[in-house]
């Protein structure tokens, strides 16, 4: 369980992003976070990872206060975060080597599972966007995390690749019993990926706005899915985000 208890955070004191903000993410849940640029979506992920610390309040994971990066929390970024001078295999192995683990430890399994075994000796510049993101996902999952945080991981991909990877993450979340929190700018992605959807608004964010989405069908043409997208739009409010431009 991720317990966010009354946190306040700011980069500039006169403009707090979160102010006495609290919420709970239960173990194994899938969440999406949506909101306008600058509302604190990525900041919240960094607070959960321990890369940032709240000015006030606390964040606990499984009863332990987060005050530094946690080894069982994985973060996947929009730009993949791959080292250009390392091959696919070497990038996947990186976290293991940092931890002093020399054996395979599941690298070959994830190369197979994510369909990147054939490109395992290539470098990032030789890969498609989808292959790069699959490499980033494999690098995260080979460390056997229980929490997977994703910051707009599919935003730069073409639609078919994006949808394939969305389906993949949903499958992996169920198989691995992962707690997944995904940041997105896209209403459809928020509806498809999150069984709960957190809507952040213009700072300061004080009270979380959470849209329950427990029975969404994994079919983007289903009327229930379309209805969920409409519900998110109603929550956001017509024209609300335009004010942030």
Q: Which residues of the chain have pLDDT under 50?
A: 238-239, 241-245
23 and 125 assigned to the same domain = no
150 and 133 assigned to the same domain = no
156 and 53 assigned to the same domain = yes
170 and 239 assigned to the same domain = yes
pLDDT of residue 244: 41
Say what the pTM is. 0.89
125 and 234 assigned to the same domain = no
Number of structural domains the chain divides into: 2
pLDDT of residue 243: 44
151 and 136 assigned to the same domain = no
49 and 157 assigned to the same domain = yes
- For 164-197, the pLDDT digits (tens) are 889 889 998 998 899 999 999 999 999 999 999 9
63 and 126 assigned to the same domain = no
Task: Tell which of 95, 121, 144 closes a domain.
Answer: 144
State the residue range of the domain holding 150. 2-72+146-244
The three-state DSSP-derived secondary structure of the chain is: CEEEEEEEEECCCCCEEEEEEEEEECCCCEEEEECCCCCCHHHHHHHHHCCCCCCEEEEEECCEECCCCCCCEEEECCCCCCCCCCCHHHHHHHHHHHCCCCCCCCHHHHHHHCCCHHHCCCCHHHCCHHHHHHHHHHHHHCCCCCEEEEECCCCCCCHHHHHHHHHHHHHHHHHHCCEEEEEECCHHHHHHHCCEEEECCCCCECCCEEEECCCCCCCCCCHHHHHHHHHHHHHHCCCCHHHHC
183 and 237 assigned to the same domain = yes
């Amino acid at each position: 369980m991720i317990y966010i208890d009354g946190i306040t955070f700011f980069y500039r004191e006169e403009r707090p992003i979160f102010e006495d903000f609290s919420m709970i993410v239960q173990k194994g849940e899938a969440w999406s976070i949506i909101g306008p640029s600058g509302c604190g979506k990525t900041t919240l992920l960094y607070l959960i990872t321990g890369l940032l610390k709240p000015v006030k309040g606390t964040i606990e994971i499984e009863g332990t206060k987060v005050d530094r990066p946690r080894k069982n929390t994985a973060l996947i970024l929009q730009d993949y975060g791959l080292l250009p001078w390392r091959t696919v295999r070497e990038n996947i192995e990186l976290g293991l080597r940092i931890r002093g683990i020399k054996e395979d430890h599941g690298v070959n399994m994830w190369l197979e599972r994510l369909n990147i075994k054939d490109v395992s000796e290539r470098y990032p510049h030789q890969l498609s966007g989808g292959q790069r993101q699959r490499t980033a996902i494999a690098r995260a999952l080979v460390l056997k995390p229980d929490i997977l945080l994703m910051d707009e991981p599919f935003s730069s991909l073409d639609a078919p690749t994006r949808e394939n990877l969305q389906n993949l993450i949903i499958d992996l979340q169920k198989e691995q019993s992962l707690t997944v929190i995904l940041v997105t700018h896209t209403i459809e992605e928020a509806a498809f990926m999150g069984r709960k959807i957190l809507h952040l608004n213009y700072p300061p964010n004080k009270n979380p706005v959470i849209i329950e989405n427990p029975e969404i069908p994994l079919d983007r043409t289903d009327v229930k899915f379309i209805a969920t997208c409409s519900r998110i739009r109603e929550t956001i409010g017509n024209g609300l985000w335009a004010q942030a431009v």
